[in-house]
């Protein structure tokens, strides 16, 4: 069907259009990606490995993994809770919550960081209270985690809400009427149905969490080896004209991006395939 | 379900201990608003949702707006009158607009090529479209600035022509086009897929030339999705920071974007100024968001009708 639809468009016009589209994609998408790896290996493999094995780079990698792990746990719990109450219940204020949920997508990462500084920073609303209790959020790990959660918050929830709505509540209601407890119903009925959507949301929020720059740079204070995540380390190295080291760490993030794209493509095929089957059945 | 639905209004009846005991526990807790579900966990899930949203989004939002208002109206107008602030908004708005237009044109072309034509490597190209979503902005920033630097692969080609992209305002435009492209492709693509190719074929058979087909057949059908992709690309470009600061010279009045201005204000400990500019950006992106929502309704309504 699709192949038949494509057949009439194979004249000279079409070939020209394909060429222009591919040229644009090469210039804007492929070349930047190739540049990352070319620059990373520009001085040979030993220099590349030295850039990654640098203690500051290693601590940046550790910090990035830690921030992403905490973020993902919060995102999954929040996503499941939000989709449960927003997709399964009708209540006043529901659409308001949905609007607030979308906010992080439309707010500049820098503005997100700024908001957190104004709330949790020393001059912020909670600044006095935090200082007397000897707690540090801004220029420290908690602030970076909160900032990363802010920018990734909608990913899982936005993936699960439409999925749950589409699936309907009949199976859960049947389980409850048959005497299953709430948690049993959730773990045995709801969660298995959501697994691909959940994985998809986690994948997207992980890519964003590990790569977040703007929001984290505002709240981190850029303390080398202490509050530097990988993107911040890349910037520090780049500003130091240590180009190979910057691109070496960048190449790791580029690999993560490529892996994400591959996994996303596979999941989309599986996920959409499963949904199509469900619609037929 | 119907059983439970009939029992639900029971709190209105006089309390009867034995009748109450027969009801499932969760039914007795029906609160002050209607719930049409026998499912448990409403209170817990709503509680978690509101708690996280408050700590992460709502309270910080309130803090910024509170700080912005403490600047006062006169302070706000003074801030807006500053040439540096005006310059940053000009750079951000003009570059974002041009980048979104470029994304719209080439995004539409790429979407059409991906849906309507077959060529080797098409699936790979399809997956590549999402690269700007997946590639961290800092990585994109250093890659683009290296590529367009005077000694870079593309910069070396453009330099003899007198075109300098890296460390100029043109670099801002290139970076913003990079981040905006997938929004347009991904909003136009599904609409094109749903659109029967037969209409285009019929137009060809009836003697229409490609330009006529594009204007009379294709464009009317995909215009809402194209507009919404454009708006999303524009909104994203306005807030973009990571990829821009590497490729731009970040000179005030010339290539300084609004997010960078906010960072500069913060570094100078001008918290109220930063909050005011941040609030202004928020209002701006809210307007764009509102536009997207209205356009999406426009896109969806014909299919639901």
Same domain membership, residue B126 and residue B57: no
Please tell me whether residue A160 adopts helix, strand or coil conformation: helix
Nearest-CA neighbor of A232 among A248, A219, A246, A217? A217
pTM above 0.95, yes or no: no
- Which ranges in chain A belong to alpha helices (H)? 2-6, 12-25, 31-40, 44-53, 55-88, 94-106, 109-120, 127-132, 141-167, 170-177, 182-185, 191-211, 214-220, 230-239, 243-280
Confidence of residue A135 (pLDDT cuts 50, 70, 90): confident
Same domain membership, residue B202 and residue B99: yes
The pLDDT tens digits of the residues spanning A3-36 come to 444 444 567 888 999 999 999 999 999 999 999 9
Residue B7: its pLDDT value, please? 37
Residue B301: its pLDDT value, please? 55
- Is A246 within 8 Å of chain B by CB? yes
Contacts of B247 in chain A (CB under 8 A): none
Q: Closest Cα of chain A to B15: distance in Å?
A: 25
- Is A40 within 8 Å of chain B by CB? no
Contacts of B31 in chain A (CB under 8 A): none
Give the nearest chain B residue to A126 (CA atoms): B63
Contacts of B204 in chain A (CB under 8 A): 8
Contacts of A73 in chain B (CB under 8 A): none
Same domain membership, residue B91 and residue B65: no
B248 sits in which H/E element: none
Report helix angle A55-88 to A141-167, nearest 10. Answer: 40
Residue A204: its pLDDT value, please? 94
A15-19, A74-78, A233-237, B296-300: the lowest-pLDDT one: B296-300
Confidence of residue B282 (pLDDT cuts 50, 70, 90): very high
A160-164, B141-145, B252-256, B295-299: the lowest-pLDDT one: B295-299
Residue B9 has pLDDT above 60, yes or no: no
| Mean pLDDT of the B224-239 span | 92
Residue B13 falls within a domain, yes or no?
no
| Mean pLDDT of the A260-280 span | 76
Give the nearest chain A residue to B271 (CA atoms): A118
Q: How many Cβ pairs closer than 8 A exist between chain A and B?
A: 299
Instruction: Name the fold adopted by A45-280.
Output: MetI-like fold (1.10.3720)
Domain count of the fold of chain B: 2
Q: What is the dihedral of CA B239, B242, B244, B247, to 10 degrees?
A: 180
Same domain membership, residue B64 and residue B79: no
Residue A187: its pLDDT value, please? 92
Residue A71 has pLDDT above 80, yes or no: yes
Confidence of residue A277 (pLDDT cuts 50, 70, 90): low
d(CA A150, CA B61): 11
Same domain membership, residue B63 and residue B51: yes
- Is A119 within 8 Å of chain B by CB? yes
Same domain membership, residue B257 and residue B114: yes
Domain housing B162? 74-304
Q: Closest Cα of chain B to A145: distance in Å?
A: 10
CATH number for the domain including B239?
A: 1.10.3720.10
**Are the Cβ atoms of A261 and B140 closer than 8 angstroms?**
no
How is residue A188 annotated by DSSP?
I
Nearest-CA neighbor of B136 among A232, A177, A32, A211? A211
Same domain membership, residue B167 and residue B281: yes
| Mean pLDDT of the B18-41 span | 51
Residue B99 falls within a domain, yes or no?
yes
Contacts of B271 in chain A (CB under 8 A): 117-118, 121, 123
**Are the Cβ atoms of A89 and B42 closer than 8 angstroms?**
yes
Residue B2 falls within a domain, yes or no?
no
Q: Which of A5, A18, A115 sits opposite B64 (nearest CB)?
A: A115
d(CA B68, CA B268): 16
Residue B300 has pLDDT above 70, yes or no: no
- Which ranges in chain B belong to alpha helices (H)? 2-7, 17-22, 25-28, 42-53, 59-69, 72-81, 83-116, 122-128, 131-134, 137-148, 153-158, 169-194, 197-205, 210-213, 219-239, 242-247, 258-267, 271-304
Confidence of residue A108 (pLDDT cuts 50, 70, 90): very high
| Mean pLDDT of the B1-20 span | 38
Residue A1 has pLDDT above 50, yes or no: no
Nearest-CA neighbor of A67 among A230, A245, A234? A230
Same domain membership, residue B196 and residue B61: no
Contacts of B288 in chain A (CB under 8 A): 106
Same domain membership, residue B45 and residue B149: no
Instruction: For chain A, give the number of residues.
Output: 281
Residue B35 has pLDDT above 80, yes or no: no
Residue A225 has pLDDT above 70, yes or no: no
The pLDDT tens digits of the residues spanning A84-104 come to 999 988 889 898 999 899 889
In terms of Cβ atoms closer than 10 Å to its own Cβ (0-12, 13-18, 19+), residue A209 is buried
d(CA B129, CA B180): 11
Q: Are A262 and B127 in contact (CB under 8 A)?
A: yes
d(CA A59, CA A70): 17
**Are the Cβ atoms of A211 and B109 closer than 8 angstroms?**
no
Q: Closest Cα of chain B to A239: distance in Å?
A: 9
Query: The tokens of B239 are what?
Result: 């807030």
Q: What are phi and psi of B241, to 5 degrees?
A: -130, -55
Residue B31 has pLDDT above 60, yes or no: no
Residue B304 has pLDDT above 50, yes or no: no
Give the nearest chain B residue to A2 (CA atoms): B116
Residue B27 has pLDDT above 70, yes or no: no
Pick the last residue of a domain from B52, B70, B88. Answer: B70
Confidence of residue B18 (pLDDT cuts 50, 70, 90): very low
Q: What angle do CA B280, B282, B283 make, to 5 degrees?
A: 65
The pLDDT tens digits of the residues spanning B174-215 come to 999 999 999 999 999 999 988 877 888 888 888 888 788 888
What value of ipTM does the predicted structure carry? 0.90
Residue A213: its pLDDT value, please? 95
Residue B14 falls within a domain, yes or no?
no
Same domain membership, residue B65 and residue B168: no
| Mean pLDDT of the A178-193 span | 91
Contacts of A121 in chain B (CB under 8 A): 271
d(CA B51, CA A81): 11
Residue B17 falls within a domain, yes or no?
no
Q: Which of B40, B49, B119 sits opposite A81 (nearest CB)?
A: B49
**Are the Cβ atoms of B60 and A119 closer than 8 angstroms?**
yes
d(CA A251, CA A52): 10
Residue B2: its pLDDT value, please? 38
Same domain membership, residue B58 and residue B176: no
Query: The tokens of A268 are what?
Result: 């989309």
| Mean pLDDT of the A52-78 span | 95
Q: What is the dihedral of CA B96, B232, B218, B186, to 10 degrees?
A: 120
Interface of A with B in 213-242 (CB under 8 A): 213-214, 217-218, 230-232, 234-235, 238
CB atoms within 10 A of CB A70: 18
Residue B20 falls within a domain, yes or no?
no
| For chain A, domain boundaries | 8-40, 45-280
Contacts of B276 in chain A (CB under 8 A): none
Mean pLDDT score of chain A, rounded to an integer? 89
Same domain membership, residue B182 and residue B124: yes
Residue A131: its pLDDT value, please? 86
Q: Are B191 and B69 in contact (CB under 8 A)?
A: no
Nearest-CA neighbor of A38 among B201, B132, B143? B143
Q: Which of B66, B196, B281 sits opposite A111 (nearest CB)?
A: B281
Residue B24 falls within a domain, yes or no?
no
d(CA B234, CA B98): 9
């Amino acid at each position: 069907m699709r192949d038949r639809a494509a057949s009439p468009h194979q004249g000279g016009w079409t070939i020209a259009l394909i060429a222009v589209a591919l040229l644009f994609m090469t210039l804007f998408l492929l070349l930047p990606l190739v540049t990352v790896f070319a620059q990373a290996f520009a001085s040979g493999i030993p220099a590349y490995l030295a850039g990654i094995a640098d203690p500051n780079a290693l601590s940046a990698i550790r910090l990035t993994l830690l921030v992403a792990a905490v973020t993902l746990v919060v995102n999954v719990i929040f996503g499941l809770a939000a989709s449960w109450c927003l997709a399964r219940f009708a209540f006043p204020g529901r659409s308001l919550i949905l609007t607030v949920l979308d906010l992080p997508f439309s707010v500049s990462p820098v503005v997100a960081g700024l908001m957190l500084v104004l709330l949790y920073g020393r001059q912020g609303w909670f600044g006095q209270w935090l200082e007397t209790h000897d707690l540090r959020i801004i220029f420290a790990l908690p602030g970076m985690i909160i900032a990363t959660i802010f920018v990734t918050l909608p990913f899982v929830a936005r993936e699960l809400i439409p999925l749950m709505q589409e699936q309907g509540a009949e199976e859960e209601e049947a389980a409850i009427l048959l005497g299953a407890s709430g948690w049993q119903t959730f773990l045995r009925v709801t969660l298995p149905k959501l697994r691909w959507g959940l994985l998809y949301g986690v994948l997207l929020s992980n890519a964003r969490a590990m790569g977040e720059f703007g929001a984290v740079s505002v709240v981190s204070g850029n303390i080398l080896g202490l509050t530097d995540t990988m993107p911040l380390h890349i910037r520090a190295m780049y500003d130091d004209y240590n180009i190979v080291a910057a691109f070496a760490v960048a190449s790791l993030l580029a690999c993560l991006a490529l892996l994400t794209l591959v996994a996303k493509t596979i999941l989309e095929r599986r996920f959409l395939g499963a949904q199509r089957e469900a619609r037929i059945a | 379900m119907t059983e439970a639905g009939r029992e639900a209004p029971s709190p209105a009846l006089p309390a009867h201990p034995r009748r109450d005991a027969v009801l499932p526990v969760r039914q007795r807790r029906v609160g002050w608003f209607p719930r049409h579900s026998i499912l448990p966990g409403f209170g817990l899930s709503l509680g978690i949702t509101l708690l996280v949203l408050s700590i992460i989004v709502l309270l910080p939002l309130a803090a910024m707006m509170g700080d912005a208002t403490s600047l006062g109206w006169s302070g706000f107008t003074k801030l807006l009158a500053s040439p540096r602030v005006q310059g940053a908004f000009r750079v951000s708005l003009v570059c974002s607009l041009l980048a979104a237009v470029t994304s719209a044109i080439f995004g539409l072309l790429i979407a059409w090529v991906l849906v309507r034509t077959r060529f080797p490597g098409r699936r790979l190209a399809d997956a590549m479209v999402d690269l700007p979503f997946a590639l961290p902005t800092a990585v994109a920033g250093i890659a683009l600035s290296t590529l367009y630097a005077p000694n870079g692969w593309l910069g070396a080609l453009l330099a003899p022509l007198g075109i300098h992209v890296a460390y100029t305002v043109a670099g801002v435009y290139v970076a913003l086009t990079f981040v905006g492209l997938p929004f347009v492709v991904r909003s136009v693509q599904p609409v094109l897929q749903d659109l029967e190719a037969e209409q285009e074929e019929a137009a060809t058979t009836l003697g229409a030339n490609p330009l006529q087909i594009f204007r009379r057949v294709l464009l009317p059908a995909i215009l809402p999705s194209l507009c919404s992709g454009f708006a999303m690309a524009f909104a994203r470009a306005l807030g973009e920071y990571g990829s821009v600061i590497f490729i731009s010279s970040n000179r005030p009045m010339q290539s300084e974007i609004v997010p960078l201005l906010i960072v500069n204000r913060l570094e100078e400990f001008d918290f109220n100024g930063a909050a005011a500019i941040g609030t202004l950006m928020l209002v701006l992106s809210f307007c764009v968001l509102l536009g997207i929502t209205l356009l999406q309704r426009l896109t969806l309504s014909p299919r639901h009708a």
